[in-house]
């Protein structure tokens, strides 16, 4: 029976593709007051500033490519039932070939109606305040901002509950509820945490195997062990 490998990825997963993380030294939040560009209040106060912030990130995303870590995860689909649960709003997991990807915090290449959140559009160019959907609604980035609900959380919890293996990759485990997902892993699950500067809280999880490496190197190091282990269990 194919074992279920669940990945919980954060900004560090995309760091080697050239996308800045949020809380590292020269992080994405540098030069920006987080709440000015990633909260409903910020959107209300200065729509143009928020649109420009996401337009810059969307343009940059179209210039970068998946890294070796994304590709190793896509390859592991040959040996496991794979579920990717990511806090990232980029599409690099998908571009590397991963099929089942849940975006807890939304997607940079999507926008949605301001009044009907279920009306989502693919969007790869700049979003301007004059843009409208076919129904004439104003549009906003399809991103979960601070203080907003995380619609995919329940689905993500149910996936983690079914895990045989969990790979936590490149997240500082500081933002909830995403950071709590690990708690829903079955006691029997094997959990790895790959991060060059692992969050201190990780040391409190007995079940966690900490690999203090970058995503690509850490995944290269454990992929054989994972495949062999998956076949024996």
CB 126 within 8 A of CB 118: no
Whether 93 is catalytic is no
Nearest to 69 by CA among 21, 25, 9, 156: 9
The enclosing H or E element of 139 equals: strand 139-143
98 is an interface residue for ligand APR by CB under 6 A: no
SS3 149: coil
Q: Which is nearer to ligand APR, 105 or 112 (CB)?
A: 105
CB 82 within 8 A of CB 63: no
Q: Which is nearer to ligand APR, 135 or 154 (CB)?
A: 154
Q: Which is nearer to ligand APR, 12 or 66 (CB)?
A: 12
Catalytic residue among 4, 103, 105, 137: 105
Indicate which single residue of 5, 7, 8, 15 sits in contact with ligand APR (rule: CB under 6 A): 15
Indicate which single residue of 108, 215, 222, 226 sits in contact with ligand APR (rule: CB under 6 A): 215
Residues within window 59-88 making contact with ligand APR, judged by CB under 6 A? 87
Q: Which two tokens stand for residue 28?
A: 């994405």
**DSSP-H helix ranges across 97-176:** 153-160
Q: How far apart are CA 53 and CA 105, in angstroms?
A: 16
Q: Which is nearer to ligand APR, 3 or 90 (CB)?
A: 90
CB 73 within 8 A of CB 7: yes
What are the backbone angles phi and psi of residue 205, rounded to the nearest 5°?
-100, 105
Stretch that binds ligand APR, among 132-140, 147-155, 170-178, 203-211 (CB under 6 A): 170-178
Indicate which single residue of 8, 12, 98, 167 sits in contact with ligand APR (rule: CB under 6 A): 12
Indicate which single residue of 174, 180, 228, 231 sits in contact with ligand APR (rule: CB under 6 A): 174
Q: Strands of 139-143's sheet, edge to edge? A: 120-122, 106-113, 139-143
11 is an interface residue for ligand APR by CB under 6 A: yes
10 is an interface residue for ligand APR by CB under 6 A: yes
106 is an interface residue for ligand APR by CB under 6 A: no
The residues that are catalytic are 105
């Amino acid at each position: 029976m194919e074992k279920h490998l669940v990945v919980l990825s954060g900004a560090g997963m995309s760091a080697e593709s050239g996308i800045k993380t949020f809380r590292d030294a020269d992080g994405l939040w540098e030069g920006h007051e987080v709440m000015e560009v990633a909260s409903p209040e910020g959107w209300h106060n200065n729509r143009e500033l928020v649109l420009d912030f996401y337009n810059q990130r969307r343009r940059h995303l179209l210039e970068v490519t998946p890294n070796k870590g994304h590709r190793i995860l896509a390859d592991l689909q040959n040996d496991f039932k794979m579920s990717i649960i990511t806090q990232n709003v980029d599409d690099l997991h998908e571009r590397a070939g991963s099929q089942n990807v849940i975006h807890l915090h939304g997607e940079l290449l999507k926008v949605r109606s301001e009044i009907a959140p279920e009306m989502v559009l693919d969007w790869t160019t700049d979003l301007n305040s004059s843009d409208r959907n076919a129904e004439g609604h104003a549009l906003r980035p399809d991103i979960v901002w601070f203080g907003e609900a995380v619609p995919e959380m329940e689905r993500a919890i149910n996936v983690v509950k079914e895990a045989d293996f969990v790979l936590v990759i490149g997240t500082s485990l500081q933002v909830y509820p995403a950071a709590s997902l690990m708690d829903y892993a079955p006691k029997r699950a094997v959990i790895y945490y790959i991060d060059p500067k692992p969050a201190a809280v990780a040391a409190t999880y007995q079940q966690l195997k900490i690999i203090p490496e970058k995503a690509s190197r850490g995944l290269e190091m454990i992929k054989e062990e994972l495949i062999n282990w998956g076949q024996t269990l």
